[in-house]
Amino acid sequence: MNKKITIAIDAMGGDNSPNKTLNGVGIFLKENKNKKDFFLNLYGEKDKIQNELSNLKISSDQIKIIHTDAQVNDNETPLTAIKNSKNTSMWKCINSQLEGEADISLSAGNTGVLLVISKMILKMMNDVSKPALAGLWPNQKGMNVVLDLGANIECNEDNLVDFAEMGSALFKSIFVNEKPLVSLLNIGSEEIKGTETLKKAYKKLNELSNDNNFIFKGYIEGNKMMDGDSNVIVTDGFTGNIALKTAEGTAKFITDNLKKSLTQNLFTKFSLIFSYFSLKTFKEKLDPRKYNGAIFLGLNGPVVKSHGGIDALGFYHSIDLCYKIVKGDLIKQIKNNLNHLKK
Amino acid sequence: MNKKITIAIDAMGGDNSPNKTLNGVGIFLKENKNKKDFFLNLYGEKDKIQNELSNLKISSDQIKIIHTDAQVNDNETPLTAIKNSKNTSMWKCINSQLEGEADISLSAGNTGVLLVISKMILKMMNDVSKPALAGLWPNQKGMNVVLDLGANIECNEDNLVDFAEMGSALFKSIFVNEKPLVSLLNIGSEEIKGTETLKKAYKKLNELSNDNNFIFKGYIEGNKMMDGDSNVIVTDGFTGNIALKTAEGTAKFITDNLKKSLTQNLFTKFSLIFSYFSLKTFKEKLDPRKYNGAIFLGLNGPVVKSHGGIDALGFYHSIDLCYKIVKGDLIKQIKNNLNHLKK
């Protein structure tokens, strides 16, 4: 496929933007300086963006600025935003997919508003029962896709089956040479454990397993998610959100305590010099910025949400994720996977 | 209160028992050699226990062995165990509370069986809607009580309110000088977030807050559980189990990777010598053995479940937890807290 990839970027969303977003754009351009198969369309206040770009010494014929007057406020609720946000960088950035001007949209702005206006503008795919928010998690062998992370607090078995198909499509679009191994998050690995909804979803996924889309590995417990024996973890949005945030909190707690121990007195500070390189490798491997970007699945176009508080390097990883998703033809993969359910 | 504390211990439950359990008993006796206010009753095969005790050079007039012929198998299901387990060390250990011979029971054996036979023997307290499994988590300021960790996969608002009262009672019995600060685990901190059940529980807990039992702090997200601003975290058993195991898995993933980085080559191994002491402090603070022991609440007597795979030091911490719980008069605290709901 030699088609050009166009990524629509909300340059104004998130903390410290457009500095953060444009810095991220700069890193992406630098890392991909030999690739000519992409364009980055930047939505936001033209003057501000132009100033910032020249401050950062970023110039490229692969970027384009599209001026917008307003931006979505952090305090805006989804309800008020529908009325107020038509002229915002976020709205225009998503809307550009509808007009065929972009293949994917990326924003670090207000999550609730992003989900609602994405659904309004791009509409749900015909065969999807509910859209879902998917994220990437590190595991011992590489990366997991986990979904839903909070788009739907209650889900039935058909929603969970859709999530499995969409999550597998996402996994295949990012990791083209790997087979999706799907598991259902539960409180035990035996077939008799869990809610009625999970038992019904288990049965359906078992019947769909081993086809071209994915292999179903059964239930998985929270402590096994990072082992790498499954790479697509399916759950409802309530449980997924709790699991994701608990993992974040635990990781932060441990690394904060590690830092404290390593700097508590002169001797430990001195020893830090010697363990600098080993700790650097450790830190790089687990850097949360590498996993930045939740993907909103089930709409007629893909939308990626970057963490609002992430820095430029984190935002760069979101742009990179957008590039991979379009390159891997996510939407076609999802349509193909969902088609299979109709048999 | 000068009453003696009697802890009934299933010496046969869990991996590597009775060696592990008796080794744990040995540590407890050593750590509390000046205290004369407790007795440890050991249930299991008398000969095996006696041999092991003399091998370990443990002797004390504060321990007593009660012979039992059988033990609960790891593969036993709760259903078959009711029929088969009447002569087991686990059954007799719990039953001794009914006969006034012990104040609390401790086992590292089969969890499902322990929950079912505990409920059968000790029966639920009059005013409790559902019993719950509570655990201890580290936080930046000390420790949290978290419940339910898996006894009930579905809960209504009254169950959650009971859990708040019982969890507060547990917290007060262990940490006598601290005030229970209760939070409900949810996917956002705003009042409008979450399921209908959570919203109803929020309202009820808000009305009960600021009395003598606890202060209600509202919703808490997964990433804030370890900040230490709440110390009693309430959730249903499905969500609690997922959160607990996700935290365990994340902690293991991070420490495994830290170890790998620190030992990957000669230079990093060398540097390890210098960071040995700082890493030791870190490891000690986060040692999961310190938090070993889930407390089954809502029955007419307290039952503590030790992790089956934990070592002797972990088992010692469970015995210590039992001692603190009885010393802090848990059952009286729970009755008092639940009474308050009847007003």
Full 3-state SS string of A302-335: CEEECCCCCCHHHHHHHHHHHHHHHHCCHHHHHH
A261 → closest Cβ in B224, B226, B279? B279
Long-range CB contacts (< 8 A, 24+ apart) of B172-175? B172/B328, B172/B333, B173/B324, B173/B325, B173/B327, B173/B328, B173/B329, B173/B330, B173/B333, B174/B136, B174/B143, B174/B145, B174/B321, B174/B324, B174/B325, B174/B328, B175/B142, B175/B143, B175/B231
Q: Do the Cβ atoms of B112 and B296 come closer than 8 Å?
A: no
A272-301 average pLDDT score: 81
Q: What is the CATH number of domain B129-297?
A: 3.40.718.10
Q: Does A144 touch chain B (CB under 8 A)?
A: no
Q: Which chain A residues contact residue B223 at CB under 8 A?
A: 245-246, 248-249, 252
pLDDT value at A273 more than 90:
no
Q: Does B195 touch chain A (CB under 8 A)?
A: yes
B278 → closest Cβ in A237, A255, A268? A268
Band of the pLDDT at A287, cuts 50, 70, 90? Answer: confident
pLDDT of A275 = 66
Q: Does B339 touch chain A (CB under 8 A)?
A: no
Q: How far from A306 is each of A15, A24, A136, A154, A319, CA to CA, in Å?
A: 11, 11, 12, 24, 9
B135 beta partners: B146
Please tell me the distance from the alpha carbon of residue B268 to that of residue A319, in angstroms, as a whole number: 34
Please tell me the distance from the alpha carbon of residue A244 to that of residue B222, in angstroms, as a whole number: 8
Within 161-190 of B, beta carbons closer than 8 Å to A belong to 185, 187
Query: Residue A187, Cβ neighbours under 10 Å: how many?
Result: 23
Q: How far from A236 is each of A148, A242, B168, CA to CA, in Å?
A: 5, 10, 29
ipTM of the complex: 0.88
Strands A215-220 and B5-10: unpaired
Q: Which chain B residues contact residue A225 at CB under 8 A?
A: 246, 249
Band of the pLDDT at A314, cuts 50, 70, 90? Answer: very high
Query: Residue A127, Cβ neighbours under 10 Å: how many?
Result: 16
A20-39 average pLDDT score: 96
Which phi and psi (to 5°) does residue A182 adopt?
-90, 135
A266-274 average pLDDT score: 64
A152-177 average pLDDT score: 95
CA A60 to chain centre: 26
pLDDT value at A1 more than 50:
no
User: Tokens 């121990």 appear where?
Assistant: A261
Q: Does B126 touch chain A (CB under 8 A)?
A: no
Please tell me the distance from the alpha carbon of residue B271 to that of residue B336, in angstroms, as a whole number: 55
Q: Do the Cβ atoms of A41 and A336 come closer than 8 Å?
A: no
- Give DSSP secondary structure letters for B147-206: E-SSS-SS--HHHHHHHHHHHHHHHHHHSTTS--EEEEE-S-SSTT-S-HHHHHHHHHHH
Whole-number average pLDDT of chain A = 91
Please tell me the distance from the alpha carbon of residue A250 to that of residue B49, in angstroms, as a whole number: 39
Q: Is A225 close to B246, i.e. CB distance below 8 A?
A: yes
pLDDT of A192 = 73
| Class at the top of the CATH hierarchy for domain B1-123 | alpha beta
pLDDT of B193 = 81
Query: What does the DSSP 8-state code read for residue A258?
Result: H
Please tell me the distance from the alpha carbon of residue B343 to that of residue B335, in angstroms, as a whole number: 13
- Number of Cβ pairs < 8 A linking chain A and chain B: 186
Which phi and psi (to 5°) does residue A225 adopt?
-60, -30
Please tell me the distance from the alpha carbon of residue A93 to that of residue A247, in angstroms, as a whole number: 31
Range list of β-strands (E), A239-302 = 294-297
A24-34 average pLDDT score: 96
Band of the pLDDT at A272, cuts 50, 70, 90? Answer: low
Q: Which chain B residues contact residue A222 at CB under 8 A?
A: 241-249
B251 → closest Cβ in A153, A244, A250? A250
Q: Which chain B residues contact residue A239 at CB under 8 A?
A: 238-239, 242
pLDDT of A73 = 85
User: Tokens 């601003």 appear where?
Assistant: B229
pLDDT of B1 = 45
pTM of the model: 0.90
pLDDT of A326 = 96
**Contacts of residue A97, Cβ cutoff 8 Å, sequence gap at least 6:** A8, A103, A104, A105, A121, A122, A300, A301
* Alpha carbon of A224: minimum distance to chain B alpha carbons (Å): 6
pLDDT of A223 = 93
Please tell me the distance from the alpha carbon of residue A243 to that of residue A220, in angstroms, as a whole number: 13
Q: What is the pLDDT of residues A186-224, one digit of tens each?
A: 998 777 788 999 999 999 999 999 777 899 999 999 999
H-only helix segments in chain B? 19-31, 46-55, 78-84, 89-98, 111-122, 157-174, 196-208, 237-262, 266-286, 312-327, 330-341
Q: Which of A102-106, A107-111, B140-144 has the highest mean pLDDT?
A: A102-106
Please tell me the distance from the alpha carbon of residue B200 to that of residue B146, in angstroms, as a whole number: 20
A50: exposed, middle or buried (Cβ count in 10 Å: 0-12, 13-18, 19+): middle
Please tell me the distance from the alpha carbon of residue B338 to that of residue B251, in angstroms, as a whole number: 35
A297-314 average pLDDT score: 95
H-only helix segments in B227-265? 237-262
Q: Is B267 close to A277, i.e. CB distance below 8 A?
A: yes
pLDDT tens over chain B, length 343 residues: 457 899 999 999 999 999 999 999 999 999 999 999 999 999 999 999 999 999 999 999 999 999 999 999 888 888 888 888 889 999 999 999 999 999 999 999 998 899 999 999 999 998 898 999 999 999 999 999 999 999 999 999 999 999 999 999 999 999 998 999 999 999 987 777 889 999 999 999 999 997 778 999 999 999 999 999 999 999 999 999 999 999 999 988 988 888 887 777 666 666 666 666 667 777 777 788 888 899 999 999 999 999 999 999 999 999 999 999 999 999 999 998 988 776 5
Please tell me the distance from the alpha carbon of residue A89 to that of residue A107, in angstroms, as a whole number: 9
Which phi and psi (to 5°) does residue A141 adopt?
-110, -10
pLDDT value at A271 more than 80:
no
- Give DSSP secondary structure letters for A171-191: HHHHSTTS--EEEEE-S-SST
What is the percentage of chain B residues whose pLDDT exceeds 70? Answer: 94
- End-to-end CA separation in angstroms for chain A: 29
Q: Which chain A residues contact residue B221 at CB under 8 A?
A: 245
B239 → closest Cβ in A242, A257, A285? A242
Q: List every span in chain A annotated with CATH 3.40.718.10.
A: 1-123, 129-297
Closest of A79, A27, A141 to residue B253, by C-alpha? A141
Query: Residue A282, Cβ neighbours under 10 Å: how many?
Result: 22
